[in-house]
Amino acid sequence: MNIMLFHSTFGLRPAVLQAADRLRSAGHEVWTPDLFEGRTFESVEEGMEHKEKIGKEELLKRAVLAAAPYSERGLVYAGFSLGASIAQTLALGDDKARGLLLLHGTSDIAPDVTADDLPVQLHVAEPDPFETDDWLSAWYLQMGRTGADVEVYRYAGAGHLYTDPDLPDYDEEAAEATWRVALGFLETL
């Protein structure tokens, strides 16, 4: 499978590269574009401030340019938190998308979007300050209306970015469960 993996608001950190290596060792081809052009951050607040300086449109433009050379192959879009929201936007706009793997995040869905039978898997903490229960319920219903085939996995007690071993949110048990399920999902695409 060809996977476009987008980083979180912390930037292209070692955990993203380790995740890409894990996916490659399972036989996938993976690209990890650096939407922050080499910048990484120690806090969500710093990363969000940088994201705001770049602007949503510029970030999406960078993501589209990174994916464009490979989209004809039929990409699986994936991402962590902010990167998940970017992956979702790109996957819903790409009729050749093979799947969508969301780790720790979702995004708004335009009302006229269709994604007939697009396989979507979301892994998120429970509770998650950035992905509240009300938000996730609405997101799930909206994603279903697009025609996507959605699976949601919640991890009780895990922190927001629980798959990143270098952050305080890290939860080894939840992270390993996520990777087990996600790798199985990718095998079905």
The percent of residues in the chain predicted with pLDDT above 90, rounded, is 98
Q: State how far Cα 174 lies from the chain centre.
A: 16
Contact call for residues 82 and 51 (beta carbons, < 8 A):
yes
* Domain extent for 34: 2-188
Residue whose token pair is 């996938």: 28
Mean pLDDT, residues 101-113 taken together? 95
Whole-number Cα distances in Å, 172 to 88, 146, 157, 166: 25, 33, 12, 11
Compute the distance between CA of residue 135 and CA of residue 145 in angstroms, rounded to an integer. Answer: 15
The percent of residues in the chain predicted with pLDDT above 70, rounded, is 100
What's the chain's average pLDDT? 96
Task: Give the type of residue at 120.
Answer: V
* Per-residue pLDDT at 37: 96
* Per-residue pLDDT at 128: 96
CATH of the domain at 128: 3.40.50.1820
Q: How many domains does the chain have?
A: 1
Q: What is the pTM of this model?
A: 0.97
Helices and strands: H and E segment counts in the chain = 6, 6
* Per-residue pLDDT at 117: 93
